[in-house]
């Protein structure tokens, strides 16, 4: 049904005559009559009956007018929300990888305080699965990453904005450890070490393989561990070494960290969403809050293109 015709029906119910509707809408009486006749054909039930030289609404017409008031109010609320005139509201499904918590959780806390109408639903996935979820419509917005030495090909259906970088660290037993930036010589000294890699993050193992190959050896992947606590316990026990992002590194007795530097590159963090989703204001507001949190914990955070401080699109 056409919103203009519904609005004319509401005005007729309120004002009582075609002439009055014509006066307030600026349409001719014949145009008003024609629109209402089309609306009657669309509904398939009589909406108006003659009453002398005037018309009155049938019971069906009055009922439709009641519905139309609610429909038009919702349309106006939606228009205000999309144009930034109203408070953003709606559910946003946000997919994140585990160690993005220092970015995501502060943003969620601030959003709950500042924009209670935005209902955030979190789901945890590694970036490869997150990108699939975004493509399939299972999430509206995602915090994803790639390693600078192993760039991804992001799907063309997604719009991706960089929000900063995170250093990568070698996690090693603290006894005799050197915490300065890793060199090829020191990396080659780990040729016989037991390496730890995640059983779920293939890109993490690929990075270890690439880094060690550049140093002239093939690493022995002995442990496949995804839980950070167990990972660090193995390192502290002298049972292995591995790569951790800076935001995941914890201070633990027996564990030392050394920046990988150019040998391992950095982890690059992005906000990703289906291209059409960015038009929805709640998604833009959530993205702005995530960007704000990223500034607090990531390096090299660029401006978020295309949005002002209110989450509005700018040209």
Residue 207 structural domain: 166-264
CA neighbor of 122 nearest in space, from 110, 138, 136, 135: 138
Q: What is residue 314's predicted lDDT score, i.e. its pLDDT?
A: 46
Q: Is residue 303 situated within a structural domain?
A: no
Q: Does residue 196 share a domain with residue 181?
A: yes
Q: Does residue 254 share a domain with residue 179?
A: yes
Q: What is residue 243's predicted lDDT score, i.e. its pLDDT?
A: 96
Of the candidate ranges 83-92, 103-112, 166-175, 208-217, the one whose mean pLDDT is the lowest: 83-92
Q: What is residue 255's predicted lDDT score, i.e. its pLDDT?
A: 95
Q: Which residue has the higher pLDDT, 80 or 156?
A: 156
Q: Does residue 121 share a domain with residue 157?
A: yes
Q: Does residue 137 share a domain with residue 56?
A: no
Q: Does residue 273 share a domain with residue 258?
A: no
Q: Is residue 96 situated within a structural domain?
A: yes
- Choosing from 41, 64, 82, the residue where a domain stops is 82
Q: Does residue 195 share a domain with residue 78?
A: no
Q: Is residue 307 situated within a structural domain?
A: no
Q: Is residue 212 situated within a structural domain?
A: yes
Total domains present in the chain: 3
- Choosing from 264, 288, 307, the residue where a domain stops is 264
Give the pTM.
Answer: 0.74
Q: Does residue 138 share a domain with residue 27?
A: no
Q: Is residue 302 situated within a structural domain?
A: no
Q: Does residue 177 share a domain with residue 159?
A: no
Contact indicator for 169, 204 with CB cutoff of 8 Å: no
Q: What angle do CA 245, 232, 290 make, to 5 degrees?
A: 30
Tokens 């500042």 correspond to 114
Q: Is residue 309 situated within a structural domain?
A: no
- pLDDT by residue (tens digit) across 197-223? 998 888 999 999 999 999 999 999 999
- Choosing from 58, 82, 106, the residue where a domain stops is 82
Q: What is residue 72's predicted lDDT score, i.e. its pLDDT?
A: 79
Q: What is residue 315's predicted lDDT score, i.e. its pLDDT?
A: 38
Contact indicator for 104, 143 with CB cutoff of 8 Å: yes
Q: What is residue 80's predicted lDDT score, i.e. its pLDDT?
A: 61
Q: Is residue 306 situated within a structural domain?
A: no
Q: Does residue 177 share a domain with residue 160?
A: no
Q: Does residue 249 share a domain with residue 134?
A: no
Q: Is residue 221 situated within a structural domain?
A: yes
Q: What is residue 68's predicted lDDT score, i.e. its pLDDT?
A: 87
Cα gap 196→255, rounded to integer Å = 14
- pLDDT by residue (tens digit) across 133-191? 999 889 999 999 999 999 999 988 899 999 999 999 999 999 989 999 999 999 999 99
CATH number at residue 113: 3.40.190.10
Longest dimension (CA), the chain: 102
Q: How far is CA 104 from the centre of its chain?
A: 10
The CA distances from residue 299 to 163, 293, 309, in Å, are 9, 12, 20
Q: What is residue 81's predicted lDDT score, i.e. its pLDDT?
A: 61
DSSP E strands, 115-204? 118-124, 141-147, 158-173, 194-197
The CA distances from residue 45 to 30, 48, 71, 72, 269, in Å, are 21, 9, 19, 21, 57
Q: Does residue 123 share a domain with residue 76?
A: no
Q: Does residue 258 share a domain with residue 176?
A: yes
Q: Average the pLDDT over 103-127 and give the result.
A: 96
Cα gap 101→109, rounded to integer Å = 12
């Amino acid at each position: 049904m056409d919103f203009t015709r519904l609005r004319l029906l509401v005005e007729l119910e309120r004002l009582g005559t075609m002439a009055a509707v014509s006066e307030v809408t600026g349409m001719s009486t014949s145009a008003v009559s024609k629109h209402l006749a089309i609306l009657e054909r669309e509904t398939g039930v009589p909406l108006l009956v003659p009453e002398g030289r005037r018309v009155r609404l049938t019971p069906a017409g009055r009922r439709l007018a009641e519905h139309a008031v609610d429909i038009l109010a919702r349309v106006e609320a939606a228009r205000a929300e999309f144009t930034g005139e109203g408070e953003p509201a709606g559910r946003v499904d946000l997919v994140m990888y585990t160690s993005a918590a220092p970015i995501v959780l502060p943003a969620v806390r601030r959003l709950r305080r500042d924009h209670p109408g935005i209902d955030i639903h979190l789901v945890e996935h590694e970036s490869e699965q997150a990108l699939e979820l975004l493509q399939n419509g299972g999430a509206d917005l995602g915090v994803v990453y790639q390693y600078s030495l192993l760039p991804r090909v992001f799907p063309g259906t997604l719009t991706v904005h960089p929000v900063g970088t995170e250093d990568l660290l070698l996690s090693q037993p603290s006894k005799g450890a050197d915490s300065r930036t890793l060199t090829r010589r020191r990396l080659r000294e780990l040729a016989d070490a037991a390496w730890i890699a995640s059983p779920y993050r293939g890109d993490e193992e690929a990075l270890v393989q690439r880094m060690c190959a550049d140093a002239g050896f093939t690493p022995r992947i002995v442990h496949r561990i995804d839980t950070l606590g167990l990972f660090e316990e193995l390192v502290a026990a002298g049972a292995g070494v591995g790569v951790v992002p800076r935001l995941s590194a914890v201070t633990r007795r027996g564990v030392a960290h050394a920046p990988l530097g150019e040998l391992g590159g950095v982890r690059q963090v992005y906000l990703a969403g289906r291209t059409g989703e960015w038009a929805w204001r709640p998604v833009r507001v959530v993205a702005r809050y995530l960007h704000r949190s990223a500034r607090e914990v990531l390096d090299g955070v660029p401006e978020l293109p295309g949005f002002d401080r209110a989450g509005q699109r700018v040209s």
